[in-house]
């Protein structure tokens, strides 16, 4: 009787299987490719998995054969042939073919960008991403959000401001490490519009797991409109709580760390907040966008993201926090 309460709930096999396979799709899956590099890597994965399955079946069959004494009955010549073919020739051929196939993919993944390609530099910082569109035209900076045109190769220049990070958008391609004091490059080419998710793939301290970013692939004209809008200075609110929030932004020292283009705020320690109200998430994928999210970030910064390198402002009166959140939300 006591045992029944300890048995785990039974999930029908088809449901368990569907749940397991659904993990292969979605905005952050290397097996649901939305970019050229990821397509090649997914192909490589399935060939490797298939090859491994064949090798495993062959080894299992040989083990059964050996346990049943098949080789002993077959005699000395057959035993030697089994060792030479099964132990040396076949494994060398199978592993050699998989290695050659794996290496044949590399040149495509390491290609450099064609002239005139879009260039974006990304700096990994504890625990967020500084994103800068270097071309075409005047540079524009934002944070934790990358928008890309579909069907265009994009060259990323990757750096770190502090410790090792690793830049990874699984649906688009492989990951690339970011080192302090050294630049690395990564070429990605999204193939279809959609919303994806990127992450840091190298443990970088306390809030490493709270360091994601949004990736949006747009049709080319839509991308051009978005980039032009990012270039514009902030829409500074003219009145009401949001305007008061703008004054509080200056009075509380936010401007020492944050830039809001078009206002006097030009700090470079934290993310550029010029269009913070239009972002898809707050604090590197940690909170949903909107006024409530901003309010929570300001009041409970270190509860939301332990170790975050921003002081919390929980000591401000609630109406000041509301006004600051309204100001941030109006920055579009």
**Burial of 277 (C-beta count, 10 Å sphere; 0-12/13-18/19+):** buried
Site residues (vs ligand HEC, CB under 6 A): 127-128, 143-144, 249, 252-254, 256-258, 269-271, 273, 276, 279, 282-284, 294, 297-298, 305, 308-311, 313, 324, 328
Select 204 or 248, whichever has its Cβ closest to Cu ion. Answer: 204
User: Which of Cu ion, ligand HEC, none has residue 284 at its interface (CB below 5 to 8 Å by kind)?
Assistant: ligand HEC
Count other Cβ atoms within 10 Å, centred on residue 175. Answer: 17
Cβ partners under 8 Å of residue 105, min gap 6: 40, 41, 43, 44
Contact characters 192-211, Cu ion, x per CB under 5 A: --------x---x---x---
Select 156 or 294, whichever has its Cβ closest to ligand HEC. Answer: 294
User: Which of ligand HEC, Cu ion, none has residue 208 at its interface (CB below 5 to 8 Å by kind)?
Assistant: Cu ion
- Give the separation between CA 199 and CA 148, rounded to whole angstroms: 16
User: Which of ligand HEC, Cu ion, none has residue 200 at its interface (CB below 5 to 8 Å by kind)?
Assistant: Cu ion
Assess contact for 292 and 282: CB atoms under 8 A.
no
178 forms part of the interface with Cu ion (CB under 5 A): no
DSSP annotation string for 268-328 = -SS---TTGGG-SSBTTTTB-SSHHHHHHHHHSHHHHSTT-SS---TTS-HHHHHHHHHHH
User: Which of ligand HEC, Cu ion, none has residue 312 at its interface (CB below 5 to 8 Å by kind)?
Assistant: none
Report in angstroms how near the CB of residue 130 gets to ligand HEC at its nearest: 9
Closest CA to 183 of 150, 202, 158: 158
Select 117 or 309, whichever has its Cβ closest to ligand HEC. Answer: 309
131 forms part of the interface with Cu ion (CB under 5 A): no
Which residues are registered as beta bridge partners of 194? 217
State the residues that interact with Cu ion by CB under 5 A.
165, 200, 204, 208
């Amino acid at each position: 009787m006591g045992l029944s309460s300890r048995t785990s709930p039974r999930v029908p096999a088809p449901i368990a299987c569907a749940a397991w396979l659904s993990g292969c799709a979605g905005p952050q899956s290397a097996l649901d490719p939305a970019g050229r590099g990821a397509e090649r890597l997914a192909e490589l994965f399935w060939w490797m998995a298939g090859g491994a399955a064949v090798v495993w079946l062959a080894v299992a069959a040989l083990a059964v054969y050996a346990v049943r004494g098949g080789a002993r009955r077959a005699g000395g010549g057959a035993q030697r042939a089994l060792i030479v073919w099964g132990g040396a020739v076949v494994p060398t051929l199978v592993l050699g073919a998989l290695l050659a196939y794996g290496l044949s993919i590399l040149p495509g993944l390491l290609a450099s960008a064609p002239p005139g390609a879009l260039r974006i530099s990304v700096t990994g910082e504890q625990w967020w991403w500084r994103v800068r569109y270097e071309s075409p035209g005047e540079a524009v900076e934002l944070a934790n959000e990358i928008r890309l045109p579909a069907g265009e190769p994009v060259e990323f220049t990757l750096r770190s401001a502090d410790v090792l990070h690793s830049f990874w958008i699984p649906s688009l391609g492989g990951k690339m490490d970011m080192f302090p004091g050294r630049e690395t490059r990564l070429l990605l080419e999204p193939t279809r519009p959609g919303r994806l998710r990127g992450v840091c793939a190298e443990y970088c301290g306390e809030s490493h797991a709270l360091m994601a970013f949004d990736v949006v692939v747009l049709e080319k004209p839509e991308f051009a409109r978005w980039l032009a809008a990012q270039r514009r200075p902030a829409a500074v609110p003219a009145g009401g709580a949001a305007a008061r929030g703008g004054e509080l932004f200056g009075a509380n020292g936010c401007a020492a760390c944050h830039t809001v283009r078009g206002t006097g705020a030009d700090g470079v320690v934290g993310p550029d907040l010029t269009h913070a109200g239009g972002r898809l998430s707050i604090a590197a994928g940690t909170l949903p966008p909107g006024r409530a999210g901003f309010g929570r970030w300001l009041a409970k910064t270190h509860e939301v993201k332990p170790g975050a390198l921003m002081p919390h402002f929980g000591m401000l009166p609630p109406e000041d926090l509301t006004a600051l959140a309204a100001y941030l939300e109006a920055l579009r």
